Amino acid sequence: MTKKAILLSAVLFLFLASCQNNRDMTRAISTIFPTKDWVISDFIVTDFGARAEPGFDNREAFQAAIDAAHYAGGGVVFIPAGNYEFHSTRIGTVNARVRQGELDFNQQFEYQYTLRVHQSVQLRGDWIDPLTNGGKVQGTF
């Protein structure tokens, strides 16, 4: 082998090795239903423990996937086709400026929520348009 071929082989090997260890690479996802575009995501709710099973509370698994995407700088959270149930909620607090007549003060309010979806995160499911499916609704619920 020539020096040029050896050098090229070494560079190719290092590139492939770095790709294997690079967690920033996204995954192409195969969907059940046809789609007009590619589904790309590093965050799939089933990787975080979500299950489309009757009676299973998926809130924690969904929130873990959403938070992982947010802390990674944002991204798409993919939800495979299925019926995902949520049975629990969380309590959040927010400070708000309140005015009463001439008084102006901050007050803390509590609110109940199921999922906190950060601005940097998009949720994407797998579904088929009921209009093209004889009115039948199928996909991610």
Element (H, E) at 105: strand 103-113
CB atoms closer than 10 angstroms to residue 43: 24
Q: Going by C-beta distance under 8 Å and a sequence separation of 6 or more, which residues neighbour residue 55?
A: 85
Helices (H) and strands (E) in the chain, counts: 2, 9
- Domain assignments of the chain as residue spans, ordered by start: 26-139
Q: What is the mean pLDDT of the chain?
A: 86
The phi, psi pair for 139, rounded to 5°, reads 135, -145
The phi, psi pair for 133, rounded to 5°, reads -120, 35
Dihedral angle over CA of 110, 112, 113, 119, nearest 10? -20
pLDDT tens per residue, range 84-129 = 999 999 999 999 999 999 999 999 999 999 999 999 999 999 999 8
pLDDT tens per residue, range 34-43 = 888 888 999 9
Is the predicted pLDDT of residue 22 greater than 50, yes or no?
Answer: no
**Structure-token pair, residue 130:** 């009921």
